[in-house]
Amino acid sequence: MAADEPAYTRLLSSEATSKIGRLEFLARTAIEGAVTGRHQSPYKGSSVEFAEHRQYVPGDDVRDLDWNAYAKQDRFYIKQYVDETNLRATIVVDASGSMKYVGEHAAEMDGRKLSKFEYASYLAACMTWLFMRQQDAVGLVTFDTEVRDYIPARTRATQLRQILEALVRTEPGGETGVADVLHDVAERIHRRGMVVIISDLFGDPEQVVNALHHFRYRNHQVTVLHVMADEEICFPFNKFTDFIDLEPSSRSLQIDPKTVRAQYLDRIREFVEQIETGCGQMKADYVPLNTNESFDTSLANYLARR
């Protein structure tokens, strides 16, 4: 990054945008938008994709009459089409203390290893850029035990900069309140759309899944980018180690990893399985991400599969 460039520009590298530049993020089910776009709307309109017939009533535009149907059934029918709309996406980024963790073999940017929060910020920046390139509305939520920043989804030209600036000025800290915050966010987003959650999801998995169901109850599509460090997944420690709570208590505990490894791995495996199963039940995308892997490659692979 050049010395005279704003700090937020570091979140969008040309290498990252080139990897996802030819990919799209399309809604899988009907969503509500504000202008004509590329995603299916729940409302009938006048696009090129036929939806269904309905019987003619006085006042309907005669140009929509299906004369082939009239010839077969001697009744007037109107052709209805599926309208297309732009997507309204909200990206929800976890900024709690646990997201400060930097893995020993974490991916690097500008010569330094990325914390989980920085990794999440790069993902959020790329997703924002992608949605804006598609002319979709996009907004941002950052949180710990409560919502910190809330930028409603918009398509205006300054939206990308506003979101990137919010990510750059955010310092992770505070305890985790994933479930409560997700319930709060679900109540704030009134029009059905896409919700992308980027978090380590540390909390009671049953409560987290219940909060994710809140979005589905309100007819949102949900994508969960589950960001964890390799050490959290594999627990590779072999000798007495000081483990420090990254959330406000800052408590330190020295333990022999060998005595707890099996129990820890069982619990983390159960935790991940509960989240993944819950996402599968509500047909939400669950994307496990390891900070050891390049964020742009991981994101491009997900978008290509999707």
Q: Is residue 260 part of a domain?
A: yes
Mark whether 68 and 185 lie in a shared domain: no
**What are the tens digits of pLDDT across the range 111-164?**
999 999 999 999 999 999 999 998 899 999 999 999 999 999 998 889 999 999
Express as a percent the part of the chain with pLDDT over 90.
Answer: 58
What's the confidence (pLDDT) of residue 62?
A: 73
pLDDT tier for residue 43 given thresholds of 50, 70 and 90: very low
User: Can you name the residues that pair with 199 across neighbouring β-strands?
Assistant: 226
pLDDT tier for residue 6 given thresholds of 50, 70 and 90: confident
Structure tokens, 296: 């742009």
Mark whether 91 and 167 lie in a shared domain: yes
pLDDT tier for residue 31 given thresholds of 50, 70 and 90: very low
What's the confidence (pLDDT) of residue 246?
A: 63
Q: Pick the residue with more confidence: 176 or 58?
A: 176
Q: Is residue 34 part of a domain?
A: no
Mark whether 62 and 119 lie in a shared domain: no
What's the confidence (pLDDT) of residue 83?
A: 43
**What are the tens digits of pLDDT across the range 70-115?**
788 888 877 655 444 478 999 999 999 999 999 999 999 989 999 9
pLDDT tier for residue 25 given thresholds of 50, 70 and 90: confident
Mark whether 226 and 145 lie in a shared domain: yes
Average pLDDT, the chain: 85
Crossing angle of helices 257-281 and 205-217, in 10° steps, is 20
**Mean pLDDT in residue range 41-46:** 48
Q: Is residue 63 part of a domain?
A: yes
Mark whether 241 and 92 lie in a shared domain: yes
How many distinct structural domains can be found in the chain?
2
- Output the domain CATH number for residue 146: 3.40.50.410
Pairing of strands 252-255, 241-244: antiparallel
pLDDT tier for residue 30 given thresholds of 50, 70 and 90: very low
Q: Is residue 136 part of a domain?
A: yes
For 99, 131, 256, the CA distances from 261, given in Å and listed in that order, are 22, 41, 9
Structure tokens, 28: 């899988």
Q: Is residue 140 part of a domain?
A: yes
Mark whether 21 and 151 lie in a shared domain: yes
What's the confidence (pLDDT) of residue 106?
A: 96
**What are the tens digits of pLDDT across the range 249-304?**
667 777 777 888 899 899 999 999 999 999 999 999 999 999 999 999 999 999 99
Q: Is residue 94 part of a domain?
A: yes
Q: Is residue 262 part of a domain?
A: yes
What's the confidence (pLDDT) of residue 36?
A: 46
pLDDT tier for residue 233 given thresholds of 50, 70 and 90: very high
What's the confidence (pLDDT) of residue 175?
A: 85
Q: What is the pTM of this model?
A: 0.79
What's the confidence (pLDDT) of residue 263?
A: 92
What's the confidence (pLDDT) of residue 242?
A: 67
Contacts of 238 (CB under 8 A, 6+ apart): 257, 258
pLDDT tier for residue 1 given thresholds of 50, 70 and 90: low
Host domain of residue 245: 7-29+87-305
Cα–Cα distance for residue pair 11/13, rounded to 1 Å:
6
Cα–Cα distance for residue pair 192/137, rounded to 1 Å:
12
Q: Is residue 1 part of a domain?
A: no
Cα–Cα distance for residue pair 305/214, rounded to 1 Å:
26
Cα–Cα distance for residue pair 212/204, rounded to 1 Å:
13
Mark whether 235 and 191 lie in a shared domain: yes
Mark whether 79 and 135 lie in a shared domain: no
Mark whether 73 and 160 lie in a shared domain: no
pLDDT tier for residue 166 given thresholds of 50, 70 and 90: very high
pLDDT tier for residue 67 given thresholds of 50, 70 and 90: confident
What's the confidence (pLDDT) of residue 117?
A: 98
Show which of 63, 85, 107 is a domain's final residue. Answer: 85
Mark whether 136 and 266 lie in a shared domain: yes
Cα–Cα distance for residue pair 46/4, rounded to 1 Å:
48
Mark whether 132 and 58 lie in a shared domain: no
Mark whether 250 and 232 lie in a shared domain: yes
